[in-house]
Structure 1
Amino acid sequence: MLVVLFRLLIIIALAMIIYTMVQYLQNPQRKLRIAQEKKKFYFVDDPDNSKKNIHFAYKGCLFDGEKYLGTAGETFEVVNIHISVREPLHLKGVTRDDLYFLEKEILLRYPYAKIEWKHPISELLLTDLD
């Protein structure tokens, strides 16, 4: 009886370890951090929940976007997105074309949204091209 109970506890422990490993590998925040380290684009969002912010990594920089719900036509949609950067020093090397790419990617997911970049990103968009 004791051996059977011990085997059952080992099987339960292995199942918990496998479940924990799968949850760890599927964690979107871990994938976001890896994309930042590899300087790739990765977008984390829950489109069905307008209260959850969007997070994305691009060229080693992490961005956060706050979604605001409003009316678009006869439905409620995300109409404003305020984007800020977590660490402004990581913006080194980011160009206007990169910001336009990010806007395009966001507008693919939220076509009615008006994107507002917060400081210091807004300064790059406001300066004249020479």
Structure 2
Amino acid sequence: MGALLFRIIIFAFIIFLLYTGIRYLLHPKRKLEIAHEQKKFYFLDDPNNVRKNFLLTYKGVLFEGEKYLGTTSDAFDVVTIFVFPKNENSLKGLTKNDFKRIEEHILQYYPKAKIDWKSPIKEFLEKDEEITNEP
């Protein structure tokens, strides 16, 4: 009787380890970490939860986006998104085109949103607009 119970416990433990391992491998946060290490684009978001910020990685830089709900002409939707880097020192090498590309990716998920960048990216992008607006 004791040997049978021991075998059942060992079998249940092996099943538990397999289940935990598969959950770990398929977890979205892990995919974000891998994309961040490989300097690829990855967008991690829960579109059904407006209160939860999204994370995205682009060229090895991790960004966080704060979503704000508002009204559009026909419904409630995400109307404003504030995006900021998790580590400002990792911005080295990014160009204005990179930030435009990030905006395009975000607008695919939230087409009615206005994207605002937090400092220092905001000043970097505004500097370009000031130069083009001069007579």
Query: Normalising to structure 2: TM-score of the pair?
Result: 0.92
| Aligned equivalents of 1:28, 1:95: Cα separation in 2 | 28
Find the counterpart in structure 1 of residue 60 from structure 2: 60
Q: Following superposition of structure 1 onto structure 2, how do residues 84-103 of structure 1 map, counting pairs within 5 Å?
A: 84-103=84-103
Give the drift of 1:74.
2.1
Asked whether 1:72 is paired with 2:72, we answer: yes
Q: Give the alignment's Cα RMSD to 1 decimal.
A: 1.2
Please give the secondary structure, in 2, of the residue aligned with 1:94: coil
Query: Normalising to structure 1: TM-score of the pair?
Result: 0.95
Give the drift of 1:55.
0.2
Find the counterpart in structure 2 of residue 114 from structure 1: 114
**Larger helix percent:** 2
| Aligned equivalents of 2:123, 2:27: Cα separation in 1 | 34
| Aligned equivalents of 1:77, 1:11: Cα separation in 2 | 49
Q: Structure 1 unaligned runs (5+)?
A: none
The number of residue pairs the alignment matches comes to: 130
Please give the secondary structure, in 2, of the residue aligned with 1:127: helix
Q: Structure 2 unaligned runs (5+)?
A: none
User: What percent of counterpart residues are identical?
Assistant: 48
Q: Which amino acid aligns with 2:85?
A: V
Q: Which amino acid aligns with 1:2?
A: G
Please give the secondary structure, in 1, of the residue aligned with 2:56: strand
